[in-house]
């Protein structure tokens, strides 16, 4: 591939394996497209797909997958711990190789326009592709979730950028945009109290005075009888994973709660993990040039 763009679409289905395979299949067996990963979570009721490709090939595969998701997901029946507003909840494009952010933004607009015309789907542009500052933050766009979107899109300030000014009856609303790489990083707590998890998330996230490049919410992992601080680290190079992890441990002590594990959803840059390993090992004067895989890929 000469030009490589990454796409990390989030679909609102994490429990039905047959539906998930149908949604993911359009990313398989196509020239110029490579499926790297897909991670599902039953508590979140969500699957996160990671795919790379050349712009036009990736666009075609993404539009096909969106069509499948609209066919198999009914948001009126959807329940899950993760905030969501549509069957295809969010579609971010990330420039990787020989592609500028401007090109990623243009691709996101092309996908948004064609999907809205093809499927009658209302679409917001967000992050770098946003048409106004109020639409840059996905949390603001998604506020109200599926249940509140029917009324929200009627407001002039929340008219979708593409598609009808009404939600799709079963697929809801979608956000499409362009951004830099982020890391989906979750930390598990040994408490069933969602209130405690939300309080800790509030003190960690930037919106409430926490870490600059961290978004966080509390999640109830009912089947395990624990809770989770679910985070998007929007710039791991400026807010490292270990900082979020350590701050959560500090905040958890206030409630007599312990961290019992963590997880990464989808893929992440090697540097994000190396940075954390260097911190915990106390390695001095370390360079990414000392990583074997870095030298091999030069």
Please give the Cα distance from 35 to 25 (Å, whole number): 9
CA atoms within 13 A on the CB side of 21: 3
Residues in the chain, overall count: 298
> Distance between CA atoms of 111 and 45, rounded to whole angstroms?
25
Q: Rg of the chain's alpha carbons, rounded to an integer?
A: 19
Exposed (0-12), middle (13-18) or buried (19+): which is 8, by Cβ within 10 Å?
buried
Query: Per residue in 38-76, is it b (16+ CB within 10 Å) or e — as a string?
Result: bbbbebbbbbbbbbbbbbebbbbbbbebbbbbbebbebe
Distance, CA of 125 to CA of 45 (rounded, Å): 23
Give CA–CA dist 80/86, Å, rounded. 12
Q: Identify the active-site residue in 44, 78, 82, 168.
A: 82
For residue 10, which phi and psi values (nearest 5 degrees)? -110, 120
Contact in structure between 211 and 205 (CB atoms under 8 Å): yes
Tell me the C-alpha to C-alpha distance, in Å, between residue 140 and each of 209, 216, 234, 266: 17, 13, 15, 23
Distance CA(134)–CA(17), nearest Å, equals 36
Any catalytic annotation for residue 168?
A: no
Angstrom distance (rounded) from CA 228 to CA 44: 11
Residue located via tokens 């009721």: 45
Q: Which residues are catalytic?
A: 82
């Amino acid at each position: 591939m000469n030009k490589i763009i990454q796409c990390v679409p989030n679909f609102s289905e994490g429990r039905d394996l047959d539906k998930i395979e149908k949604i993911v299949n359009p990313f398989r067996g196509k020239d110029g497209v490579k499926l790297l990963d897909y991670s599902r979570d039953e508590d979140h009721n969500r699957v996160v797909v990671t795919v790379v490709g050349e712009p036009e090939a990736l666009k075609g595969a993404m539009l096909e997958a969106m069509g499948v998701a609209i066919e198999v997901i009914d948001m009126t029946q959807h329940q899950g711990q993760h905030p969501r507003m549509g069957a295809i909840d969010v579609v971010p494009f990330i420039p990787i190789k020989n592609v500028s952010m401007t090109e990623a933004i243009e691709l996101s607009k092309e996908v948004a326009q064609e999907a809205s015309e093809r499927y009658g789907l209302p679409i917001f542009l967000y992050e770098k592709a946003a048409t106004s500052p109020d639409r840059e933050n996905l949390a603001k766009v998604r506020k109200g979730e599926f249940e509140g979107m029917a009324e929200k899109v009627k407001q002039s300030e929340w008219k979708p950028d593409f598609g009808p000014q009404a939600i799709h009856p079963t697929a809801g609303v979608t956000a499409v945009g362009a951004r830099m790489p982020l890391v989906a990083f979750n930390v598990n707590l040994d408490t069933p109290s969602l209130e405690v998890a939300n309080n800790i998330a509030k003190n960690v996230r930037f919106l409430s005075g926490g870490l600059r490049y961290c978004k966080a919410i509390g999640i109830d992992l009912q089947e395990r009888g624990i809770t989770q601080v679910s985070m998007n680290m929007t710039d791991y190079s400026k807010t490292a994973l270990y900082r979020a992890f350590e701050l959560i441990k500090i905040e958890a002590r206030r409630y007599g709660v312990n961290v019992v594990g963590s997880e990464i959803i989808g893929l992440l840059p090697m540097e994000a993990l190396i940075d954390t390993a260097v911190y915990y090992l106390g390695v001095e004067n370390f360079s990414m040039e000392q990583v074997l895989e870095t030298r091999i890929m030069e």
